[in-house]
Amino acid sequence: MELTDRAEKQFGRTAQEKASGNDSSSVLLQAGKEISASADQNVILGMNTELPWIRVAPDAPYFITEHGESWTPIGQNDAITWPDFANAFRRKDLAQVERHLAWLAQHGVTCLRFMLEYAQTENRYIERPAGKFAPNMVRLWDDLFALCAKYNLRILLTPVDTFWMWIRWKYHPYNKKNGGPCARRSSWLTCPDTMAAIKNRFTFVIERWGGSGVLFAWDLWNEIHPAHAGDRTDVFTDFISELSTHVRDTELRLYGRSRPQTVSIYGPVLNDRPDVADAIFRHPLLDFASTHFYDTDTINHPKDTVASAICTGRLTREALQHLQDNRPFFDSEHGPIHTFKDKKYTLPEYWDDEYFRHMQWAHLASGGAGGGMRWPNRHPHTLTHGMRRAQKSMAAFVKLLDWTTFRRKNLNEEVRVSEPAFATFACADEKQAVVWLLRQHNLKKDGTMNTGAAPLPVSVTLPGMVAGTYTLTTWDTSAGCVLMSKTITLGTSGDLLLELEPVLADVAVALQWVE
């Protein structure tokens, strides 16, 4: 098949791939039924009946538990082969995995994004051959669901690792040459037998682990791409519809309810193929939107810790402008992928910590749900302790607002700031607001913030606020604590002036109407 240059660069393969001449019909195997047959007795594995399911808030573009409590996805991408979870395979050291999960929970992490299999090697396929579910992998997921339930952690789950599946397609069990359903990579989204195989995989997962509140949501297809459909995009909507309907109907049949769904995309695809926005942001069967913030000029290969945050604010605003209804949005992958993968360079820990913290606050304050989900892109492939402290800070800050009623609009360009030295990120409705100010042009030679500069006095004017009394809280994003809290009053609906203490580098603001 012919791939576009961008797709070729992204997936890292040659442009031609010959199709197999084998046209046999569906290869969905009944093997694996021995595992499925035992699902009735094993389905309660990992199921914490006290852990409520997550759903989209009916009156706000954020998430709540089924009991109506605010829930914010704070977390990152993880993989079953990376250092923090590698010991779960064959139960090499489950105690280590449990200690790690407990530590995450202590640092405010609520959500882990996992791929059901990680296809960088040949020994972590969930099915091998297609349709036969590998007992060691099933047991691994049994254990992970049980341990996550213990620490109230949830999982955003996607069924296939499309990146490594593409690169190492010749080895994958779904390849027809290996007895699988699909003749070529370019027909993943158009091959009926492949759709049947993916549905079968979802059915297995739903039957075995779908009753657990650990499972936050489905990313039905990771980084959907025109290359998966012979460079077509017109098939995206129907592909999503068929998969979404199958998953939702299966959950409703088994549990009488269903969980949120999204489909993620490699962000730059939206620049080249803007028509895919309908499927990603406005598909009627999807519950929230997610993209991957891999901006070539800033995020992928950062030169300082400010430009990537400014880009994050811009990308979040653009994403929200695509949405036409009350659905949440968050970035479910970002990180210095070009620096790490192509330049073979791991950012210094202190530098990466600041880059990470700045990006997550730009995301939240611009209207994203949570701080976005980092792809580690470090050696070792884990988040640093500083990043965990940043997550803990955000987890404490989000308690200052009522997300169940916060009908935010992005105001990055509408708020007025008295001091132009600050980049501004903001979202608000008429009664609540989140603002984050980041000082620009205050960098040391290495691209990090100059903490030796003098703090600057600053005020922020928010438009469209209702008259009344508000609680204004300013937050130290680095230390993770309140700087100042006071009550302010707006006599007449309209612009609300927030007078802040002098700011050295950055500050977050939470504003909530009282009466």
- The reported pLDDT for the residue numbered 49 is 52
CA 44 remoteness from chain centre: 27
The domains found in the chain, sorted by start residue, are 5-287 (3.20.20.80), 409-513 (2.60.40.1180)
* Bridge-based pairing state of the strands 63-65 and 54-56: antiparallel
Confidence of residue 50 (pLDDT cuts 50, 70, 90): confident
pLDDT in tens, 12-24: 333 333 233 333 3
* Bridge-based pairing state of the strands 329-334 and 409-410: unpaired
pLDDT surpassing 50 at residue 8: no
pLDDT surpassing 60 at residue 5: no
Give the N- to C-terminal CA distance of the chain in Å, as an integer: 63
pLDDT in tens, 371-425: 999 999 999 999 999 999 999 999 999 999 999 999 999 999 999 999 999 999 9
pLDDT surpassing 60 at residue 153: yes
- The reported pLDDT for the residue numbered 20 is 33
- The reported pLDDT for the residue numbered 17 is 33
- The reported pLDDT for the residue numbered 69 is 97
pLDDT in tens, 422-452: 999 999 999 999 999 999 999 999 999 999 9
Rounded to an integer, the average pLDDT of 20-31 is 34
Q: Are 423 and 438 in contact (CB under 8 A)?
A: yes
Q: Which strand (E) or helix (H) includes residue 106?
A: helix 94-106
Structure tokens at 3: 């791939």
pLDDT surpassing 80 at residue 227: yes
Q: 224-237 burial, b for 16+ CB within 10 Å, e for fewer?
A: bbbbbbbeebebbb
- The reported pLDDT for the residue numbered 26 is 33
- The reported pLDDT for the residue numbered 156 is 98
Render 42-104 in DSSP notation, one character per residue: HTTTT--TTSPPEEE-TTSSSEEETTS-EE---EEE--TTSTTTGGGGGGS-HHHHHHHHHHH
Q: Are 137 and 117 in contact (CB under 8 A)?
A: yes
- The reported pLDDT for the residue numbered 93 is 98
Cα distance between residue 197 and residue 219, in whole Å: 17
Which pTM was predicted? 0.91
